[in-house]
Structure 1
Amino acid sequence: MLLWASAFIGVRSAGSAFSPGALALGRLITGALVLGAISLARRDGLPPRAAWPGILGSGVLWFGGYMVLLNWGEQEVDAGTAAMVVGIGPILIALLSALLLREGLPRALCVGMVVSCCGALVVALGSTGPAHARLLGTVLCLLAALSYAAGVVSQKSALRHAGALQVTLFGCLTGAAVCSPFASDLVTQAAHAPLSATLDVLYLGVFPTALAFTTWAFALSRTTAGRMGATTYAVPVLVLLLTWLGSSVVPGLPALAGGVLCLGGVAISRRRAAGRTRRAAEGPGAGMIRRRRGPA
């Protein structure tokens, strides 16, 4: 989560020299080279056939679509605001899981979605800059959150058949293929970019992509998508902290209030799910046992 938080700041910094598509492609190529070298050393080979639908889905939606949309969005709004809007990703993961896995659509989830959407609107209105840029940046970050959520659901299915390193490596390669139309832009912009921007791209590829995505996939393979999605609640707070430490710049009070609404909506949506998880863990006889025992 800390590395992903730093990615919001790195994207904002590198975006001054690289276009959204070129930045995404440079980041993915760097990540794929690092992971490819490790995979060759481990002699992992190709993932099994059953894993490819999930790998392709996560590669297109998360590694490709999410990165381009986020890079574009951060050219319109600041890193902290982008992180707060993308922070509704966990609620979208829960929604997609309910629809795709037929787990139902609890009322708490619907209420949480409404609250989070209201928060995103407040963020758009409270961010600095021209109104059209605030609106465009917020919409792009919302689309990035949706792409990220769909990518996580796809990745979870792939991890049932392949290891974390394999899923991440070939997800990176798929995302790079999606972003390949921006190859000429990457070459041109890299030739004229300052050293600091180039180092930002390399950092994004090695740490928030190769390392963070692989460790995420490793953890995701051992728990549910909903629970892993909940860990990303910390990202907006970490982004604000890193931004403050690095430049003493934080979003204004309206944007912060909107971010609180976004995360509050996520918390509301998860309350009922958490209750169901506890009841399932206790088993059907837990309530009867408590009633028999009576007050302590």
Structure 2
Amino acid sequence: MPRRQATAIGFIAVLLWALLALFTVGTAPTPPLLLNAICFAIGGTLGLIWTGSTGGFARLRQVPLRVYLFGTLGLFGYHALYFSALRLAPAAEAGLIAYLWPLLIVLFSGLLPGETLRAGHLIGGIVGFLGAALIIGGGATGFDPQSLPGYLLALACALTWSTYSVLSRKLGDAPTESVAVFCVATAILSALLHLATEETVWPQGTIGWAAAIGLGLGPVGLAFYVWDIGVKRGDIQLLGVASYAAPLLSTLVLVLTGVTSPSWSLAGAAFLITGGAALAARASLRSGVTQSTDG
């Protein structure tokens, strides 16, 4: 598969993840681990059907156990943190902090062999984190200590997913079909932990179940398979750069659907986080041009 095509396929995940916060809000008050189990059961089933239709089960036997452990922990960790964050803090603000991951991917990927971390990446990082600081500081309304746990969990989300995505490059030989196993294992792990630690509260009514199913089919289903193709076979820095649209798109979806009220502090945070990623994007593109010229 050409690198450009793989990168474009990976970007489909960004568009699907723009709906992650909206659907998560729609599933309230389902607890995070139960929601994890429901969504990944759907996403895993989707992957197993695709794997079976392409004859990919034979390739799964060749995947080392450490790869399955890594993938399961990555998917389980990010979404357990994300769902918890949106239960403990306002959706738009927590979502914006979680969407620092595109910026962090650009920064972390600069540490990979053959990649370069430039001054523009660092400046973009500072700008993006100023946006997160604006959210945590509460903007015009001031610091809200009740939301702080949710914001910290959202920051942990960003660190988890960016680290997972960058380290996935080290596992480039693992077939994309292995993501189906990650999803099924995540569903089982989430269900067991749910039974041990949470009270069972199923999604409420048609909207609740529609949101849960939508999560499993899209942002917590198809998105993982196309993202896996992108980060392993495409341009990982360009994907990180293109992903700067994720926080803006997610915030716009929440505002347009009436879940979140527009405010200057929210707009400022979205501008800083998106702008920081754009600055890092510019540095990556310039780096790519320089490397092409040198070659």
TM-score range, shorter chain: 0.7 to 0.9
Aligned with residue 232 of structure 2, among 221, 232, 248? 221
Q: How does 1:62-141 map to 2 (within 5 A)?
A: 63-101=75-113, 103=115, 105-126=117-138, 131-141=144-154
Task: Indicate conservation of the 8 Å contact 1:114/1:265, yes or no.
Answer: yes
Give the deviation of 1:186 after TM superposition. 7.7
Task: Indicate conservation of the 8 Å contact 2:32/2:84, yes or no.
Answer: yes
Paired residue for 1:42?
54
Task: Indicate conservation of the 8 Å contact 2:96/2:247, yes or no.
Answer: yes
Q: How does 1:232-251 map to 2 (within 5 A)?
A: 232-247=243-258, 249-251=260-262
Distance 2:274 2:80 in 1: 23
In structure 1, stretches of 5+ residues that fail to align are: 285-296
Paired residue for 1:3?
16
In structure 2, stretches of 5+ residues that fail to align are: 1-13
Q: How does 1:173-212 map to 2 (within 5 A)?
A: 173-184=184-195, 188-190=200-202, 193-212=204-223
Q: How does 1:8-47 map to 2 (within 5 A)?
A: 8-14=21-27, 16-45=28-57, 46-47=59-60
Give the deviation of 1:129 after TM superposition. 9.8
- What secondary structure sits across from 1:143 in the alignment? helix
Task: Indicate conservation of the 8 Å contact 1:6/1:208, yes or no.
Answer: yes
Percent identity, please. Answer: 22
1:156 paired with 2:169, answer yes
Distance 2:184 2:169 in 1: 18
Give the partner amino acid of 1:271: R
Paired residue for 2:156?
143
Give the partner amino acid of 1:235: A
Task: Indicate conservation of the 8 Å contact 1:81/1:251, yes or no.
Answer: no
Paired residue for 1:279?
290
Distance 2:45 2:199 in 1: 17
Distance 2:146 2:62 in 1: 43
Q: Structure 1 residues 155 and 251, CA, compared in 2 at 3 Å: closer, same or farther?
A: farther
Task: Indicate conservation of the 8 Å contact 1:54/1:155, yes or no.
Answer: no
Paired residue for 1:288?
none
Task: Indicate conservation of the 8 Å contact 1:51/1:161, yes or no.
Answer: no
Give the deviation of 1:134 after TM superposition. 2.7
Give the deviation of 1:204 after TM superposition. 0.7
**What whole-Å deviation, never above 9, does each CA across 1:219-270 have from its counterpart, x for those lacking one?**
3333122211222212222223322332273342112212211222222333
- What secondary structure sits across from 1:249 in the alignment? coil
Paired residue for 2:265?
254
Q: Structure 1 residues 168 and 13, CA, compared in 2 at 3 Å: closer, same or farther?
A: same
Q: Structure 1 residues 59 and 226, CA, compared in 2 at 3 Å: closer, same or farther?
A: farther
TM-score norm. by structure 2 comes to: 0.83
Give the partner amino acid of 1:7: L
Moved >6 Å (runs of 4+): 127-130
Task: Indicate conservation of the 8 Å contact 1:124/1:135, yes or no.
Answer: yes
- What secondary structure sits across from 2:239 in the alignment? helix
Give the deviation of 1:7 after TM superposition. 1.6
Give the deviation of 1:77 after TM superposition. 2.9
- Once superposed, what is the RMSD of the aligned Cα atoms? 2.7
Give the partner amino acid of 1:97: S
Q: Structure 1 residues 55 and 97, CA, compared in 2 at 3 Å: closer, same or farther?
A: farther
**What whole-Å deviation, never above 9, does each CA across 1:181-238 have from its counterpart, x for those lacking one?**
3342788322x74343223212111122222222222333331222112222122222
Distance 1:255 1:92 in 2: 21
Higher mean C-alpha deviation, range 240-249 or range 88-97: 240-249
Q: Structure 1 residues 181 and 130, CA, compared in 2 at 3 Å: closer, same or farther?
A: farther
Distance 2:123 2:72 in 1: 31
Paired residue for 1:293?
none
Distance 1:245 1:199 in 2: 19
Task: Indicate conservation of the 8 Å contact 2:122/2:280, yes or no.
Answer: yes
